[in-house]
Amino acid sequence: MPIRVLPPEVAGKIAAGEVVERPASVVKELLENSIDAGADDIRVEIREGGRRLIRVADTGSGIPGDEVALAFARHATSKLTDVQDLDRIATLGFRGEALASIAAVSQVTVLTRPQAQTIGQYLRVDAGQITLQEGRGSPAGTIVTVEHLFRTMPARLKFLKQPQTETGHIHTVITRYALAYPEIRFTLTADDRQLFQSSGSGKLYDVLIAVYGLDVAEKTLEVSNQPTGEAAGETGGESTPPPCQVYGYTSMPSLHRANRTYITFYVNRRWIQDSSLAHAVAQAYHTLLPVGRHPLAVLLLDIDPAEVDVNVHPTKREVKFRSSQTVFSAVQSAVRRTLVERSPVPVLAHSPRTWPAPDWERRQSLIAAGRGEPDASQLAMELYRPGGPFQPGDEPLPVGPVRLPLLRVVGQVGQTYIVAEGPQGMYLIDQHAAHERVLYEQMMSEHQQHAVASQTLLEPLPLDLDPILAGQLSEQLAFLNEVGFAVEPFGGTSYLVRAVPSILVVPDVRAAVIDILELLRQGDDPLAARAEERLIAAVCKRAAIKAGQTLATEEMQQLVRRLEQCESPRTCPHGRPTVLHFSVEQLEREFGR
């Protein structure tokens, strides 16, 4: 076929496809227009998941009567004038495409009136053609009604989901904007039922409650890297704001979700998706969350518009930062600092009940005398939980060094758990998780001092690997040799192991090394920030005693002693708990004493 220029209706529909994928995309574009128009109240009404009708009514600036028709022309916008404006875009819209695209695939009417005009304009567009325009009485602001979306595009229509699902997408879009614009009151009504409303109070926290509920909002911490009023005052008001201001809310470590969709970012109040920023947040929670769990966060970034390019994605949901490293570390450190400074350490509401445990004081003084640790202040901050046994996720894990009290080993159950008692009750310790934690801290500190204890094998061990594991090994080679291994290539997919970390001197070293490579292959451990940490965690997982292993009393005592001395004794390196606590009160309550 010869090359031909497409007729405008066809070209228009193709272009519309980029912007209008489903009813929620229409809602998004109309909301952006209302926000750009300075509205303080935006009401969205939908029918049949938006397929039948979408109406967005706002209290914004309105469109002057003589410009309404132009608003539907492709590339007609009031938000840009020349190419330089593209470098510092401060509005949500700027391409002048949305109304034209929506009108190309539906039937649109607009009723609009700027405050200063007495009569409004009514305009009707059918499949891209203006079919009616007349003056009409109208409230100040703009009402856009979109009906029969995709009626002329059966292919698109087929891809729409159940009305309920499409309504869900629309709900998501509206709550996203509501979070970014707390000063605007947003309302969503679906088939005459109100599904969402924000107050327009100007407080982000109020919107957080409206969107996620009070239970969730209460488990969040306010994030801000802006200079506080006081600090700004102290330096004579001259403290300059950071180049990337970060504010919003992030969940306490006790609140987490199965995936990252609850991490929401805005750049200059535009919702964006950015997996690298999500990773920055994940890193800030390093070791604070159970493995595979993700925080909930609403983070707003304010940055000089000249430092971001918002014109890189058809629906503008991705942006490009001029200095992505600056933004990444601003996000990471703001969240991390919030967690470290503000995460509540469990407060002892009333003094915990204790019971007389044998040998208690003697053991305490022996340890204090011999090692100088753990000291009394650490003992005070122990693992007491008023609400019952420690369960992953139901209470904030305190951040910082919260150590274990001194424990007396009672015995082993199920060849898996160690039963111990402390002054405030009974403790159940997962022997594998606990040993992993002990080995991990030991190896990490040795690694930091570049002194990982290593053991040379009597005979070098040849490893013939399959290509995948060989690839894994060659990728890790440098790290392996930094953490106590001595491994060298031996041609093809073969390697020679001359030494291993001392903790890995187990009967079958070959199987251990292969297990470690397998562990690394399976897991992108989201909590482990760096490759060495992942490697060390894998080595410790393999080297730790297993469940199902009978332990002698002395072995258990030694393990518990070492766990007491850990910096973060209460979770394994992968974030699972090592210890459950049953308080004296709880036991008494359970037994009805």
Site residues, ligand ADP (CB under 6 A): 29, 33-34, 37, 58, 60-63, 71, 76-79, 93-100, 142
**Residue 77 contact among Mg ion, ligand ADP, none, beta carbon within 5 to 8 Å by kind:** ligand ADP
Could you say whether residue 33 binds Mg ion (CB under 5 A)?
yes
Beta strands in 278-395 (DSSP E): 297-303, 308-309, 320-321
Q: Tell me the closest approach of the beta carbon of residue 235 to ligand ADP, in angstroms.
A: 41
Q: Tell me the closest approach of the beta carbon of residue 440 to Mg ion, in angstroms.
A: 52
Task: Point out which span in 25-33, 66-74, 493-501, 516-524 binds Mg ion (CB under 5 A).
Answer: 25-33
Task: Point out which span in 28-36, 284-292, 516-524, 530-538 binds Mg ion (CB under 5 A).
Answer: 28-36
Cα(102)–Cα(225) distance, rounded to whole angstroms? 40
CA angle 384, 388, 394 (to 5 degrees): 95
Q: Tell me the closest approach of the beta carbon of residue 521 to ligand ADP, in angstroms.
A: 47
Q: Tell me the closest approach of the beta carbon of residue 33 to Mg ion, in angstroms.
A: 4
**Residue linked to tokens 């009567």:** 65
| C-beta of 96 vs 253, nearer to ligand ADP | 96
| C-beta of 98 vs 514, nearer to ligand ADP | 98
Residue 503 near residue 407 (C-beta atoms within 8 A): no
**Residue 58 contact among Mg ion, ligand ADP, none, beta carbon within 5 to 8 Å by kind:** ligand ADP
With a CB cutoff of 8 Å and minimum separation 6, the contacts of 584 are 352, 353, 354, 355, 424, 425
| C-beta of 94 vs 427, nearer to ligand ADP | 94
| C-beta of 58 vs 421, nearer to ligand ADP | 58
| C-beta of 121 vs 338, nearer to ligand ADP | 121
Cα(360)–Cα(555) distance, rounded to whole angstroms? 20
Residue 456 near residue 498 (C-beta atoms within 8 A): yes
Task: Point out which span in 26-34, 295-303, 539-547, 581-589 binds Mg ion (CB under 5 A).
Answer: 26-34
**Residue 34 contact among Mg ion, ligand ADP, none, beta carbon within 5 to 8 Å by kind:** ligand ADP
| C-beta of 13 vs 447, nearer to ligand ADP | 13
Could you say whether residue 98 binds Mg ion (CB under 5 A)?
yes
Q: Which of 278, 63, 88, 298 is nearest to 179 (CA)?
A: 298
Q: Tell me the closest approach of the beta carbon of residue 384 to Mg ion, in angstroms.
A: 56
| C-beta of 78 vs 502, nearer to Mg ion | 78
- Give the SS3 label for residue 178: helix
Beta strands in 360-478 (DSSP E): 408-413, 417-422, 425-430, 454-464
Cα(289)–Cα(287) distance, rounded to whole angstroms? 6
Q: What are the Cα distances from residue 65, in Å, to 112, 136, 300, 434, 502? A: 8, 10, 36, 73, 81
What is the residue type of 469?
A: L
| C-beta of 272 vs 537, nearer to ligand ADP | 272
Task: Point out which span in 31-39, 164-172, 257-265, 538-546 binds Mg ion (CB under 5 A).
Answer: 31-39
CA angle 77, 78, 82 (to 5 degrees): 85
| C-beta of 35 vs 535, nearer to ligand ADP | 35
Q: Which of 131, 104, 145 is nearest to 15 (CA)?
A: 104
Q: Which of 350, 489, 369, 475 is nearest to 424 (CA)?
A: 350
Q: Is 559 left (phi over 0), alpha (psi -120 to 50) or beta?
A: alpha
- Number of Cβ within 10 Å of residue 465's Cβ equals 18
| Class of residue 310 by CB neighbours under 10 A (exposed 0-12, middle 13-18, buried 19+) | buried
Q: In the complex, which residue's CB is closest to Mg ion?
A: 93
Q: Tell me the closest approach of the beta carbon of residue 185 to ligand ADP, in angstroms.
A: 15
Angle between helices 275-284 and 324-342 (to 10 degrees): 30
| C-beta of 128 vs 422, nearer to ligand ADP | 128
Q: Tell me the closest approach of the beta carbon of residue 54 to ligand ADP, in angstroms.
A: 13
Q: Tell me the closest approach of the beta carbon of residue 294 to Mg ion, in angstroms.
A: 32
**Residue 297 contact among ligand ADP, Mg ion, none, beta carbon within 5 to 8 Å by kind:** none
With a CB cutoff of 8 Å and minimum separation 6, the contacts of 571 are 287, 290, 397, 433, 437, 577, 578
Beta strands in 179-318 (DSSP E): 185-190, 193-197, 220-224, 244-251, 263-267, 270-272, 297-303, 308-309
**Residue 343 contact among Mg ion, ligand ADP, none, beta carbon within 5 to 8 Å by kind:** none
Could you say whether residue 27 binds Mg ion (CB under 5 A)?
no
**Residue 63 contact among ligand ADP, Mg ion, none, beta carbon within 5 to 8 Å by kind:** ligand ADP
| Class of residue 277 by CB neighbours under 10 A (exposed 0-12, middle 13-18, buried 19+) | buried
**Residue 94 contact among Mg ion, ligand ADP, none, beta carbon within 5 to 8 Å by kind:** ligand ADP
Q: Pattern of binders to Mg ion over 232-261, x per CB under 5 A?
A: ------------------------------
Q: Tell me the closest approach of the beta carbon of residue 302 to ligand ADP, in angstroms.
A: 21
| C-beta of 113 vs 171, nearer to ligand ADP | 113
| C-beta of 29 vs 274, nearer to ligand ADP | 29
**Residue 95 contact among Mg ion, ligand ADP, none, beta carbon within 5 to 8 Å by kind:** ligand ADP
**Residue linked to tokens 């424990």:** 407
Q: What are the Cα distances from residue 258, in Å, to 523, 529, 586? A: 16, 19, 30
**Residue 37 contact among Mg ion, ligand ADP, none, beta carbon within 5 to 8 Å by kind:** ligand ADP
Among 49, 62, 93, 526, binds Mg ion (CB under 5 A): 93
Query: What is the binding site for Mg ion (CB under 5 A)?
Result: 33, 93, 98
